Structure 1
Amino acid sequence: MKRALEQIKKHEGFSRYPYSTDTKELYIGYGRKLDSYGVTQDEAEMLLANDLSLLQNMIQISIDTKSCNSPRLASLVTLSYNLGFDGLMNFKHTLKCAEKATFSSVSDELLQSHWARKKPIRAVELILQLESGEWQ
């Protein structure tokens, strides 16, 4: 099967992003038909874990997270996953609070955001988690 895998990789080539053909079907990777196969829950969880690991590294390179315990760092990673890394970086006050361990004032900026109006339940949960340092 290893040789078949290598042969298919050679024939299909790799595409990081979905693409369509003249048949209007979506493909990704080495010619995986998204319309036919989609992704399994295990594959989706693997992709999610990879994304979160990448985002955590990006956050830890960009700001000082020494004062963030696991729940607080997870809140920042979750925000970044939902908003995109650049979206998280726009929350300047929140990031300064994370660096200075002044978590009691993160709610002001986050609650006034467009994101919080669109995702109020998620926003409240993540704000409580940032403020308390406890999983919600």
Structure 2
Amino acid sequence: MTESNITRLLRGDEGEVLHAYQDHLGFWTIGVGILIDKRKGGGITPEESAYLLSNRIMGKSIELDNRLPWWSKLDDARRGVLLSMAFQMGVDGLLGFKNTLTMVERGDYAGAAIGMLNSLWAKQTPERSARMAEQMRTGEWKYKAGT
């Protein structure tokens, strides 16, 4: 049995849906018949979660390379802030921070941090935005407590 044969067989029988959906029995499923419904013992493995996260980080990084070419010149911690924001809000959401991004691009990290904290995003996710603003200001990684 080759991988391409079983993949073709399963895609044909299971179909492929790229978002969570309820199967014919009402259990949450994703992809090619991957049961994720906890009620039926479903979920993903830590390895699958790590793969998905890595894949999404790479995709967001490529999108930021294309849409904010200057971001690659930032230090790792400040690139991490922009990537975290893009991960949370999407790249289009991040691009809505026009004044803040202008300050980041010209190296006014303290001003950018203030801009971040004066946003609706900061009101919606105060703990995360406070950490990200401090990371932007200092250039030092700020992780959530306990991680």
- TM (norm. structure 2) is 0.82
Q: Comparing 68-77 with 11-20, which one deviates more in the overlay?
A: 11-20
Contact 2:72 2:79 in 1 (8 A): no
- Following TM superposition, by how much is the alpha carbon of 1:31 offset from its aligned partner in structure 2, in angstroms? 0.9
Q: Which residue is equivalent to 1:74?
A: 80
Q: Within 2, Cα distance between the matches of 1:95 and 1:7?
A: 48
CA RMSD of aligned residues (A): 1.7
Q: Structure 2 counterpart of 1:13, which letter?
A: G
Greater RCO structure (CA 8 Å; 6+ sep): 1
Q: Which residue is equivalent to 1:108?
A: 114
Q: Structure 1 counterpart of 2:96, which letter?
A: N
Residue from 52, 60, 64 that aligns with 1:55: 60
Contact 2:114 2:133 in 1 (8 A): no
Q: Within 2, Cα distance between the matches of 1:125 and 1:92?
A: 20
- TM (norm. structure 1) is 0.88
Q: Structure 2 counterpart of 1:92, which letter?
A: K
- Following TM superposition, by how much is the alpha carbon of 1:96 offset from its aligned partner in structure 2, in angstroms? 1.2
Q: Within 2, Cα distance between the matches of 1:119 and 1:71?
A: 19
After superposing on structure 2, the runs of 4+ consecutive aligned residues of structure 1 that deviate more than 4 Å are none
Q: Comparing 7-16 with 54-63, which one deviates more in the overlay?
A: 7-16
Residues 39-65 of structure 1: per-residue CA shift (max 9 Å, x gap): 122211211111111111111211121
Contact 1:66 1:99 in 2 (8 A): no
- Following TM superposition, by how much is the alpha carbon of 1:5 offset from its aligned partner in structure 2, in angstroms? 4.0
- Following TM superposition, by how much is the alpha carbon of 1:23 offset from its aligned partner in structure 2, in angstroms? 2.2
- Following TM superposition, by how much is the alpha carbon of 1:66 offset from its aligned partner in structure 2, in angstroms? 4.2
Q: Which residue is equivalent to 1:26?
A: 28
Q: Paired residues, what number?
A: 136
Mind listing any 5+ residue stretches in structure 1 that lack a counterpart? none
Structure 1 vs Structure 2: percent identity of aligned residues?
Answer: 26
Contact 1:67 1:98 in 2 (8 A): no
